[in-house]
Amino acid sequence: MSEFINVQINKTNLDTYPVRTSILKSLTYALKGFKGELLDVGCGKMPYRGFIMENSQVENYTGLDIETALVYDAGMKPDVTWDGVTMPFHPSRFDCAMATEVLEHCPDPETVLKEIYRVLK
């Protein structure tokens, strides 16, 4: 996880460093509540997957994103894609969920939050 916060600071990324540090602190605090099946909503390139899997009781990590969210690396695509309206999961499928740096990009964040609630146990 050090590559996530130990970045070479320059004028093009100066504004992201405090955000990354805050996210890491929040994730570290939240780890004690992460267990079983975790859904990462708006996962992007899943920069937290390794950290969470190594430091929590999460047994399965599922990354969910919309197909057009960003240009993915060839080997780093979300586990599941969705339309931004209805998640392709049965109700009560996941033990926990997270969504970092995603709701501000959603045209209707309330819909996303309702879907997260629907798929949580």
Specify the pLDDT at position 72.
60
Per-residue pLDDT band at 24 (split at 50, 70, 90): confident
**Fold of the domain spanning 31-119:** Rossmann fold (3.40.50)
pLDDT given at position 91 = 99
Q: Which DSSP category does 49 fall into? A: H
For residue 31, the model assigns a pLDDT of 96
Whole-prediction pTM: 0.84
User: Each residue of 47-85: pLDDT tens digit?
Assistant: 889 999 999 999 999 999 998 766 666 667 899 999 999
- Domain coordinates of the chain in residue numbers? 31-119
